């Protein structure tokens, strides 16, 4: 009997040892599978990562906005409008279907956070730190193989592709910085991540401080905010983050129209807009250069001389940066000159002096790419200006028409065959815009028939391009343009989309998300040939 018990006990021990071994093996296999699955998704399907990220922050923002009470507790905001606003803030689109003064101070802080974490600089910074955490500190990072980790925004142009092997630049760094041209030490990536973080903090905090100081020194600006019951701190922080992130929201219903005579405030905001978008790359390079001069760190020199090896799309060579600056300045001058020549004596600027008109024209021109803050009712501007703004809103931030050397980039080395085949057959961006405009014309066909002056094809096209470019410009809606007078019609300060049907708003939500992720479709439509 005792012998049988001992045998049974031995068998149980053997069984438990076997089960423990198998369970440990299964756990390790599950961890390995999960790790490789996540790595595969991030490397081969960065679009999934982007969609997941923006969906999470948008719905989190929606939940927070719903929990927090609005300014007027009796005025309950509709769920679709709250979701629309949350997505608009997280995609830095600033398309509005409700008035901003309907939100309480706590809700404005929620929108501020959404604009910050949805902005281009913040999301790209996440990509840098994610890659550093993923690959650790010991082995060099191959930016050619894992460039999707570097920037949560993918490279959209072959001219900025980090996989380019720049053989023409002589670099004094060998080991330990580089194993070869595609490998970068994790310490360099870590340092560069802190530089980008410093840039983000400096622009947002510095911008907030400058706006706050201006409000303290100018009583007329203070009175505007006091009259509306908005604190100077929330206005300063909200406006600075919105400007740097190129969102375009402001805490007041009138956007910047109410400050159109505060020229110094507009001049303070203009550099913030440029530093957060079209001139972010040159400004970032300038900051790296400044840090190198101050600290003498070799990492800075390496980053400056091997910008493509870093694999960060916002880090350009000095030559590319100069061309970009010239293009941006040319666009601004062209828009400003046309604006002043057509609108100098218009009703939109009739109460301003010459200096204020010039500053307002400059401010409006800078905002067309792609901030969306406005100092005048866009519906009062001439058609030529609106067409020009439509083109400017469509152009990507780093558009440059000046010739550049691609340093012998080979398309076959940059793009896998299966990805190129997919890019050939998907539609071009203009095709998607046409589809969205057609769909909205279908959903709003009744309004287009009864209210053709407000609901016309160009107004819808302008709204769609603005949402797709994540700009926020809108021609608005006016009761004065109604063919049949409606005593119940009430003018509102929010955008034209605020008067659309729920179906139209839902489509515009898709347009905003599609526009925020348009970098994945910059090469679409190649299979279509027009002859």
DSSP string of 275-314, one letter each residue: HHTTTHHHHHHHHHHHHHHHH--HHHHHHHHTHHHHT-TT
Long-range CB pairs of 437-444 (<8 Å, 24+ gap) are 437/461, 437/464, 439/507, 440/464, 440/500, 440/504, 440/507, 440/508, 443/500, 443/501, 443/503, 443/504, 443/507, 444/500, 444/501, 444/504
| Cα 101 from chain centroid (whole Å) | 24
pLDDT at 414: 46
**How is the chain split among helix, strand and coil, in percent rounded to 5?**
65, 0, 35
> Is-contact 58 86, C-beta < 8 A?
yes
Strands (E), 356-475: none
Return the closest-CA partner of residue 54 out of 92, 103, 109. Answer: 92
> Is-contact 493 258, C-beta < 8 A?
no
Instruction: Say what percent of the chain tops pLDDT 90.
Output: 58
**Which residues, in sequence order, are CB contacts of 254 under 8 Å at separation 6+?**
493
Q: Using one digit for the tens of pLDDT, what is the confidence trace for 270-315?
A: 999 999 999 999 999 999 999 999 988 888 998 998 888 888 889 9
Q: What is the DSSP letter of 179?
A: S
pLDDT at 14: 72
Highest mean pLDDT, choosing among 14-23, 160-169, 229-238: 229-238
Give the end-to-end CA distance of the chain in Å, rounded to a whole number.
95
Q: Is the pLDDT of residue 115 over 90?
A: yes
Instruction: Find the length of the chain.
Output: 531
- Looking at per-residue confidence, does 13 or 349 come out higher? 349
In which residue are the tokens 């390079």 written? Answer: 285
**Which residues, in sequence order, are CB contacts of 317 under 8 Å at separation 6+?**
307, 308
pLDDT at 50: 87
Three-state DSSP at 139 gives coil
Q: Is the dihedral of CA 97, 100, 104, 108 positive or negative?
A: positive
In angstroms, the CA 53 to CA 87 distance is: 12
pLDDT at 529: 61
| Cα 230 from chain centroid (whole Å) | 26
Tell me the pTM. 0.83
Backbone angles phi, psi at 183, to 5 degrees: -110, 130
Q: Is the dihedral of CA 267, 255, 95, 241 positive or negative?
A: positive
Which whole number is the average pLDDT over 171-190? 57
In angstroms, the CA 370 to CA 171 distance is: 36
Say which range, 119-133, 140-154, 159-173, 297-311, has the weakest mean pLDDT.
159-173
Q: pLDDT class for 47, splitting at 50, 70, 90?
A: confident
pLDDT at 293: 92
Q: pLDDT class for 415, splitting at 50, 70, 90?
A: very low
- Looking at per-residue confidence, does 344 or 44 come out higher? 344
Residue boundaries of the structural domains of the chain: 122-165+172-394, 414-521
Burial tier of 420 (Cβ tally within 10 Å: 0-12, 13-18, 19+): middle
Return the closest-CA partner of residue 187 out of 77, 57, 300. Answer: 300
- Looking at per-residue confidence, does 134 or 78 come out higher? 78
Please compute, for residue 449, the number of CA atoms within 13 A of its CA located in the half-sphere on the CB side. 5
- Respond yes or no on whether the N-terminal peptide bond of residue 176 is cis (omega within 30° of 0): yes
Return the closest-CA partner of residue 68 out of 120, 117, 123, 114. Answer: 114
Burial tier of 386 (Cβ tally within 10 Å: 0-12, 13-18, 19+): middle
Which whole number is the average pLDDT over 432-437? 94
Q: Using one digit for the tens of pLDDT, what is the confidence trace for 186-200?
A: 888 889 999 999 999
Q: Is the pLDDT of residue 145 over 90?
A: no
> In Å, what is the CA distance from 254 to each residue of 212, 362, 481?
19, 19, 20
Q: What is the DSSP letter of 183?
A: E
Considering the chain, what is the average pLDDT of its residues?
Answer: 83
Q: Using one digit for the tens of pLDDT, what is the confidence trace for 211-249?
A: 999 999 999 999 999 999 999 999 999 999 999 999 999
pLDDT at 129: 76
Which whole number is the average pLDDT over 113-136? 83
In angstroms, the CA 508 to CA 84 distance is: 9
Helix H, strand E, coil C: the string for 33-76 is: HHHHHHHHHHHHCHHHHHHHHHHHHHHHHHHHHHHCCCCCCCCC
Highest mean pLDDT, choosing among 10-14, 435-439, 485-489: 435-439
Q: pLDDT class for 169, splitting at 50, 70, 90?
A: very low
Q: Is the pLDDT of residue 495 over 70?
A: yes
* CA angle (317 as vertex; 280, 147 as ends), nearest 5: 80
* CA angle (243 as vertex; 242, 248 as ends), nearest 5: 65
Q: Is the pLDDT of residue 375 over 90?
A: yes
Q: Using one digit for the tens of pLDDT, what is the confidence trace for 435-468?
A: 999 999 999 999 999 999 999 999 999 999 999 9
Q: Is the pLDDT of residue 208 over 80?
A: yes
Which whole number is the average pLDDT over 341-357? 91
- Looking at per-residue confidence, does 510 or 73 come out higher? 510
Q: pLDDT class for 425, splitting at 50, 70, 90?
A: low
Q: pLDDT class for 405, splitting at 50, 70, 90?
A: low
pLDDT at 141: 55
pLDDT at 362: 97
Which whole number is the average pLDDT over 388-401? 91
Q: pLDDT class for 525, splitting at 50, 70, 90?
A: low
Highest mean pLDDT, choosing among 2-16, 55-69, 290-304: 55-69
Which whole number is the average pLDDT over 51-75? 92
> Across the chain, which distance is largest between two alpha carbons, in Å?
111
pLDDT at 420: 54
**Which residues, in sequence order, are CB contacts of 124 under 8 Å at separation 6+?**
151, 152, 153, 196, 312, 313, 314
């Amino acid at each position: 009997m005792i012998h049988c018990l001992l045998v049974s006990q031995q068998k149980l021990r053997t069984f438990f040892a076997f089960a423990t071994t198998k369970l440990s093996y299964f756990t390790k296999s599950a961890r390995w599978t999960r790790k490789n699955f996540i790595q595969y998704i991030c490397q081969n399907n960065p679009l999934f990562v982007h969609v997941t990220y923006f969906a999470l922050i948008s719905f989190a923002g929606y939940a927070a906005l719903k929990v927090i009470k609005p300014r007027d507790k009796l005025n309950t905001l509709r769920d679709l409008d709250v979701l629309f606003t949350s997505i608009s803030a997280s995609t830095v689109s600033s398309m509005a279907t409700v008035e901003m003064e309907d939100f309480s101070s706590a809700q404005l802080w929620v929108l501020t956070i959404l604009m910050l974490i949805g902005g281009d600089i913040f999301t790209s910074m996440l990509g840098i730190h994610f890659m550093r955490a993923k690959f650790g500190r010991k082995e060099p990072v191959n930016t050619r193989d894992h460039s999707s980790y570097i920037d949560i925004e993918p490279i959209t142009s072959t001219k900025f592709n980090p996989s380019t092997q720049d053989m023409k630049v002589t670099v004094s760094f060998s080991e330990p910085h580089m194993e070869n041209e595609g490998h970068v030490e994790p310490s360099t990536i870590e340092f560069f991540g802190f530089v980008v973080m410093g840039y983000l903090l400096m622009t947002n905090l510095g911008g907030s401080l400058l706006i706050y100081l201006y409000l303290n020194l100018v009583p007329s600006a203070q009175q505007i905010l006091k009259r509306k019951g908005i604190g100077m701190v929330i206005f300063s922080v909200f406006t600075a983050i919105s400007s740097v992130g190129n969102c375009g929201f402001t805490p007041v219903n009138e956007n910047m129209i109410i400050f159109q005579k505060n020229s110094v405030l507009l001049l303070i905001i203009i550099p913030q807009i440029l530093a957060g978008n079209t001139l972010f790359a040159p400004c970032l390079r300038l900051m790296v250069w400044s840090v190198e001069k101050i600290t003498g760190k070799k990492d800075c020199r390496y980053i400056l001389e091997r910008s493509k090896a870093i694999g960060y799309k916002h880090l350009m060579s000095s030559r590319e940066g100069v061309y970009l600056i010239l293009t941006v300045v040319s666009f601004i001058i062209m828009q400003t000159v046309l604006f002043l020549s057509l609108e100098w004596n218009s009703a939109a600027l009739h109460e301003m002096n010459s200096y204020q008109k010039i500053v307002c024209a400059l401010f409006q021109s800078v905002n067309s790419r792609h901030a969306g803050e406005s100092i005048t009712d866009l519906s009062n501007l001439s058609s030529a200006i609106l067409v020009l703004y439509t083109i400017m809103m469509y152009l990507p931030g780093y558009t440059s028409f000046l010739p550049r050397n691609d340093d012998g980039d080979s398309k076959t080395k940059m793009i896998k065959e299966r990805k190129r085949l997919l890019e050939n057959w998907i539609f071009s961006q203009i095709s998607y815009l046409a589809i969205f405009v057609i769909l909205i014309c279908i959903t709003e066909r009744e309004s287009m028939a009864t209210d053709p002056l407000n609901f016309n094809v160009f107004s819808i096209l302008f709204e769609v391009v603005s949402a797709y470019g994540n700009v926020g410009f809108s021609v608005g809606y006016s009761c004065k343009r109604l063919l049949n007078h409606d005593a119940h019609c009430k003018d509102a300060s929010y955008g034209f989309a605020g008067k659309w049907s729920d179906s139209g708003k839902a489509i515009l939500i898709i347009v905003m998300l599609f526009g925020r992720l348009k970098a994945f479709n910059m090469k679409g439509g190649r299979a279509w040939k027009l002859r």
